[in-house]
């Protein structure tokens, strides 16, 4: 019968083999994303993602080599106990790297279908273009953007530069999750998620939070709005790039049960749905004047009534509505260090996505607007704004607007392939 020490060594040795084999298999990235999906990436995305994963896997290999060496050298019960502790640490590190590989593999695998891959490359371009237009004049580099398709209601982002699950790697790209229901329906959510990345890189959110709290005279209401600064910044980024289209799309995502729309949750980083839509209306009203957004707000307040909220939520909603014009000014027209002493609307002029400016673009370009590579590349964000505006204001003609969107989005995606 083996000694207890020999039994411990055998069990540890088997576990080390288990996790080292798993680690070696993890190194074959082709197991997690099809070769055709990798090829569907633009080259700079391919390099950024694969390089980050390879570095994480190389660190894991080195840690595994150390673990094997210490097991081989261990002779006493105390030394084997130390090996066991290191084994548990290695398991955690392996699982963290495995999470990374699966995340990026799943994201890339959504490009296995060539038609979808083309569309997603267009989404990459749209999100990245909104970043370039804000960041480049500030002298800030724009990270690569990788969009991927998922199910559900709302989009999200894993920002470039954030520390990943292994605690060592940094996200090599801005990974934007776009959901199926919005992908072919004017996906202005791309600009919202890019807005999170922009706010992170410029450092705008802490400044905006302080300005909101101060502008609302502190107290519970000011602190509440300060806690919403990140989402407000992203909404503002989407507005200045796509105008009313961003509000209409946001409305359709938030238009759920009345209880969810009206309930104020202090720890939720998202503004209460009721207020968030009316803030978007306030932005349109401030920069575009009267328009179809007024009808949207009227219908919104008809379906969702402050009087139906609980008492505490109703008090917050009423107080917030009264301050919306001031909040719009704080968000869009206040100067910030993040923008080198200028306001967001001085950096990105929303008048370019006014409805009359969008229709003038369509008239000037004529039939070439959706087919000319020059028009599509230069005006892709305004094309998104135009399509969203037409769908929002003339839903009976939405199919034609979406057919045009399909045309220029595919053209944009093919340009990305060529690049």
Helix, strand or coil, per DSSP, at residue 157? strand
Residue segments in the chain with a per-residue pLDDT below the cut of 70: 1-2, 418-419
Could you tell me the pTM of the whole model?
Answer: 0.94
| Torsion angles phi and psi, residue 340, rounded to 5 | 60, 45
Q: What is the pLDDT of residue 1?
A: 44
Place of tokens 């694969």: 50
Q: In 27-42, where does DSSP find H-type helix?
A: 35-39
Place of tokens 């801005």: 174
Q: CA-CA distance, 307 to 314, in Å (whole number)?
A: 7
Q: What are the CA-CA distances from residue 176 to residues 53, 123, 124, 265, 297 (Å)? A: 18, 9, 8, 26, 29
Q: What is the pLDDT of residue 43?
A: 87
Q: What is the pLDDT of residue 419?
A: 55
Q: What is the pLDDT of residue 2?
A: 62
Categorise residue 169: left if φ over 0, alpha if ψ from -120 to 50, beta otherwise: beta
Q: Tens digit of pLDDT for each residue in 221-265?
A: 999 999 999 999 999 999 999 999 999 999 999 999 999 999 999
Q: What is the pLDDT of residue 371?
A: 85
Place of tokens 């609980």: 310
What residues does 175 pair with on adjacent strands?
146, 158
């Amino acid at each position: 019968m083996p000694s207890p020490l020999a039994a411990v060594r055998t069990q540890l040795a088997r576990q080390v083999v288990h996790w080292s084999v798993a680690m070696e298999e993890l190194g074959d990235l082709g197991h997690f994303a099809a070769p055709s999906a990798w090829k569907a990436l633009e080259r700079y995305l391919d390099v950024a993602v694969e390089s980050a994963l390879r570095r994480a896997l190389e660190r894991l290999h080195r840690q595994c080599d150390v673990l094997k060496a210490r097991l081989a050298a261990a002779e006493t019960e105390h030394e084997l106990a130390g090996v066991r502790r290191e084994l548990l640490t290695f398991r955690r590190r392996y699982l963290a790297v495995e999470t990374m590989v699966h995340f990026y593999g799943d994201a890339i695998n959504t490009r296995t279908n060539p038609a979808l891959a083309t569309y997603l490359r267009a989404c990459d371009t749209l999100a990245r273009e909104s970043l370039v237009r804000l960041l480049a004049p500030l002298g800030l580099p724009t990270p690569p953007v990788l969009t991927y398709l998922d199910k559900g209601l709302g989009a999200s982002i894993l920002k470039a530069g954030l520390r990943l699950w292994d605690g060592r790697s940094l996200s090599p790209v801005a990974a934007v999750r776009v959901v199926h229901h919005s992908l072919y329906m004017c996906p202005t959510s791309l600009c919202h998620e890019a807005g999170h990345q922009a706010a992170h890189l410029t450092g705008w959110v802490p400044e905006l939070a302080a300005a909101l709290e101060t502008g609302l005279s502190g107290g519970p209401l000011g602190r509440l709005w300060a806690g919403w600064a990140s989402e407000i910044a992203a909404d503002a980024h989407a507005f200045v790039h796509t105008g009313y289209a961003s509000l209409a799309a946001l409305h359709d995502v938030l238009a759920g049960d009345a209880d969810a729309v009206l309930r104020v949750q202090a720890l939720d980083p998202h503004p209460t749905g009721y207020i968030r839509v009316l803030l978007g209306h306030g932005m349109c009203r401030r920069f575009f004047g009267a328009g179809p957004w007024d009808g949207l707000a009227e219908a919104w307040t008809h379906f969702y009534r402050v009087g139906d909220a609980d008492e505490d939520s109703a008090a917050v909603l009423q107080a917030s509505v009264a301050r919306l014009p001031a909040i719009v000014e704080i968000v869009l027209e206040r100067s910030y260090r993040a923008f080198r002493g200028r306001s967001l609307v001085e950096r990105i002029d929303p008048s370019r996505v006014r409805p009359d400016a969008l229709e003038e673009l369509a008239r000037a370009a004529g039939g070439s607007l959706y087919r000319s590579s020059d028009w599509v590349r230069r005006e892709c964000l305004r094309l998104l704004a135009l399509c969203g505006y037409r769908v929002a204001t003339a839903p009976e003609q939405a199919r034609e607007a979406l057919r045009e969107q399909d045309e220029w989005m595919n053209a944009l995606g093919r340009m990305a392939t060529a690049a």
